[in-house]
Amino acid sequence: MTKGWLISEPRRGTFVNAQLTPKQLPSVTQPSFAPQLLEQTPAPYFTHNAQVVALEHRHDALFFDNGTSDHRLLPQAVLHRYYRHALRNSF
């Protein structure tokens, strides 16, 4: 039933046969299953919108966009305080 793939050893268990002859795989390359990516224009949120342009002169402003900011550059204590305040006042 196992066609020589498995061997059974008493009081040890069943194992894969170590004396299997290696089978050569065909050298035909398979076509890629992934679809071709089309050239797309970037999403509109990647461009500067009017709000970002209007607030660029404020050097103390934090901008949260579609990515995660580098946490080492943010003032952690201030950010935690604002989040805590927002969570307390939201309920």
Average confidence score pLDDT of the chain: 76
Which residues, in sequence order, are CB contacts of 79 under 8 Å at separation 6+?
A: 62
The closest of 66, 2, 10, 83 to 74, measured between CA atoms, is 83
Tokens of 26: 């065909």
For 79, other C-beta atoms within 10 Å of its C-beta total 13
Asked whether the predicted pLDDT for residue 68 surpasses 70, the reply is: no
The mean pLDDT of 15-41, rounded to a whole number, is: 78
Distance CA 47, CA 1 (A): 64
pLDDT value at position 22?
76
Whether the CB-CB separation of 9 and 15 falls below 8 Å is answered with yes
**pLDDT tens sequence across 29-65:** 778 887 777 776 666 655 656 666 666 677 777 766 6
Tell me if the pTM is above 0.85: no
